[in-house]
Chains A and B, each alone.
Chain A
Amino acid sequence: MATLHVLSHSPFGDGRFASCLRLLGEGDALLLCGDAVYALQPASTPYASLERLGASTPVYALAEDHAARGGGAPGAGVTLVDYAAFVELCCRYERVNSWL
């Protein structure tokens, strides 16, 4: 069942980010919000992991949280979304799994 995985913790603080990437299934997508947007820091290990996901796993990031944490233009393959798009993503995927 296609799942939207929502991450909100920094990928540098604990193992949620790595665990989530390991568990991603066919058709799943990732939404980074809060401190999880630090995974988009260029040349970082988390960002390299995201790049390895490939086009079959869409990666989204909450634009407001990305901007609030000083993020610049995101890398290729990362889509910045607003809250309306966040809601739409929750409708598009059959399940929403928040990594609390």
Chain B
Amino acid sequence: MKFAIALFAPPHSPAARRALRFAEASLQAGHQIVRLFFYQDGVHSASANVVCPQDELDVAAAWTRFIQEKQLDGVVCIAAGLRRGVLDAAEASRYGRPAANLAAGWELSGLGQLHEAAQQADRLVCFGGN
């Protein structure tokens, strides 16, 4: 089974952890993840600048490790990212911002990537809420 997974909630929300656990479980069960799409406040999971309290699971860092280790297509909505200050080097340069913070392994792209993933996958599973 091919899954597309979309996350709409920030890394400090229970939904972000739930999406991560679901993604891990889907690979463990032998399924494929065609794309992970991060939208709205979900884009903060791709920031390399998130600092998490030491006694909490750093969900943003865990997402970055996960997509790097499994070599997954982790896509951040570019419009949602720009609005929230999640920039790669090209966008930081384009808009004259002092730094880029998109973690390694992620890509900024358009909402069309979510649509395409929904077409390619057997199931689109969205995570948000509490």
Chain A, residues 40-69, CB within 8 Å of chain B (1/0): the string is 000000000000000000000010110000
With contact pairs A10-B130, A90-B123, A100-B128 given, residues A34 and B26 touching in the complex (Cβ less than 8 Å): no
We find that the number of chain A residues with CB closer than 8 angstroms to chain B is: 25
User: Which residue of chain A lies nearest to B8 when distances are taken between CB atoms in the complex?
Assistant: A100
Interface size on B, residues (CB 8 A): 23
Inter-subunit contact A84/B129 (CB<8 Å) = no
Tell me whether chain B's interface is mostly helix, strand or loop, or mixed: mixed
Residues in B neighbouring A88, C-beta threshold 8 A: 29
Given known contacts A65-B14, A84-B28, A91-B1, A34 and B129 CB-to-CB distance under 8 angstroms = yes
Q: Which B residues contact A (CB, under 8 angstroms)? A: 1, 3, 8, 14-15, 18, 21-22, 24-26, 28-29, 31, 122-130
Residues of A within 8 A of B (CB): 6-10, 33-36, 62, 64-65, 82-84, 86-88, 90-91, 95-96, 98-100
